[in-house]
């Protein structure tokens, strides 16, 4: 709990945060609580750690909030005076580093109704960095930030103590996150070119519609033996880093495979069509024949010719005289009942072919 921590910093009459060892002992330290603005007493004891305490015994101050406010105001003052901060890595592309500022503006308000950050810092390249401090389980800003096109760093002070806060802000990369970094984002492709690699930033939605999405060419991250695409968030949108050369190679393979599949389909279609036409030729021949018989002449070795009658298919089903299945009923003037053999059907003098 925060009230168990020693209040080693407080606000003086000039509005600056001062350490307990830099002020006189007792009630005349001239310091107040930055949260409730109550007078404080400095305790320079020989046994307990030096610290500030609220002077009033009648009003019970919310020490938890008081400690949060003290942390926040001291953090702003450290960045304002030191004019630098240690920032974390950006998706493993940019390493953690120190960023120095030429101008730092702070607007201390613990609970804010506006959408302004706690710190607006500007570098010598005229790049603005918005820094916001937060605490777990406590909402300081009542409205969400519009960080599109800006560089926005969130720093969590929940686990920090007053005496180690300066080292945390200036030398550590823990408990801070890039919510948005338009400066780094715009330089990603150039950063890869400098090391001889070509990549292209592609929106995640576009990747989902890619022809070769099942052979994804994005930069991958290894997580417990599984590879997943590196996804970068900027201005509320998700992006992937597509490897340009690998993409062109995979796309060429894809197009070649598509062409082979197309030729295979066309060949299969031609074979199917040829088989279909081959099955229909006898039927078309029967429909196009007007006579009931076709004569073919075969020459023998003696030079004589014999005329052989080749009957077309003559069955009771193709005869107009057919009264029912396999019942001709007329054959050389005689009645036959029961099945009519194929030979009888071919010799039937009353056979009349049905018109097509």
Model confidence pLDDT, tens digit, residues 30-47: 999 998 888 999 998 888
Tokens coding 213: 């999405």
**Domain coordinates in residue numbering, the chain:** 188-248, 294-347
- What pLDDT shows up at residue 48? 82
pLDDT at 317 over 90: no
- What pLDDT shows up at residue 223? 76
- What pLDDT shows up at residue 351? 72
- Give the helix ranges, DSSP H, for 109-243: 165-171, 182-186, 188-194, 204-208
- What pLDDT shows up at residue 311? 46
Average pLDDT of span 291-301: 44
Residue 258 vs residues 214, 248, 252: alpha-carbon distances, Å? 15, 15, 10
**DSSP codes of every residue in 251-262:** HHHHHHHHHHHH
The pTM of the whole model exceeds 0.75 = no
Closest CA to 120 of 134, 138, 108: 108
- What pLDDT shows up at residue 117? 85
- Return all residues near 248 (Cβ < 8 A) that are at least 6 apart: none
- Residue bearing tokens 């490897």: 243
**Helix, strand and coil in the chain, % to nearest 5:** 30, 30, 40
**Confidence class for position 110, pLDDT limits 50, 70, 90:** low
Average pLDDT of span 152-171: 94
Tokens coding 120: 């607006």
From the CB of residue 111, how many other CB atoms can be counted at a distance below 10 Å? Answer: 11
Tokens coding 182: 């338009």
Task: Tell me which H or E stretch contains 276.
Answer: helix 244-288
- Residues 75/81, Cβ–Cβ less than 8 Å: no
274 burial via Cβ count (<10 Å: 0-12, 13-18, 19+): exposed
Mean pLDDT, rounded, of the chain: 82
């Amino acid at each position: 709990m925060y009230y168990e921590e020693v209040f080693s910093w407080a606000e003086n009459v000039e509005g600056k945060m001062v350490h307990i060892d830099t002020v006189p002992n007792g009630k005349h330290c001239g310091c107040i609580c930055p949260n409730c603005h109550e007078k404080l007493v400095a305790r320079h004891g020989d046994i307990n750690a030096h610290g500030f305490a609220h002077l009033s015994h009648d009003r019970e101050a919310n020490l938890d909030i008081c400690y949060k406010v003290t942390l926040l105001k001291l953090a702003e003052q450290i960045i304002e005076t030191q004019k630098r901060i240690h920032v974390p890595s950006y998706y493993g592309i940019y390493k953690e580093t120190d960023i120095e500022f030429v101008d730092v503006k702070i607007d201390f308000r613990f609970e804010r109704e506006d959408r302004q950050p706690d710190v607006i810092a500007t570098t010598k390249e005229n790049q603005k960095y918005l820094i916001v401090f937060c605490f777990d389980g406590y909402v300081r800003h009542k409205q969400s930030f519009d960080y599109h096109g800006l560089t926005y760093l969130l720093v969590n002070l929940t686990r920090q103590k007053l005496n180690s806060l300066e080292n945390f802000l200036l030398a550590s990369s823990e408990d801070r996150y890039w919510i948005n970094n338009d400066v780094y984002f715009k330089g990603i492709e150039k950063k890869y070119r400098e090391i001889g690699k070509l990549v292209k930033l592609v929106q995640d939605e576009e990747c989902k519609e890619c022809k070769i999405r099942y052979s994804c060419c994005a930069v991958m991250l290894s997580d417990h033996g599984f590879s997943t695409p590196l996804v970068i968030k900027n201005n509320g949108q998700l992006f992937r880093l597509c490897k340009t050369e690998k993409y062109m190679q995979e796309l060429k393979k894809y197009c070649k495979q598509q062409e082979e599949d197309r030729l295979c389909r066309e060949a299969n279609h031609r074979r199917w069509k040829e088989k279909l036409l081959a099955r229909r030729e006898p039927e078309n021949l029967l429909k196009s024949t007007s006579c009931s018989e076709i004569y073919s002449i075969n020459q023998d070795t003696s030079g004589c010719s014999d005329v052989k009658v080749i009957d077309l298919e003559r069955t009771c089903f193709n005869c107009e005289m057919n009264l029912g299945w396999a019942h001709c009923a007329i054959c050389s003037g005689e009645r036959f009942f029961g099945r009519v053999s194929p030979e009888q059907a071919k010799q039937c003098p009353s056979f009349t072919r049905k018109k097509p």
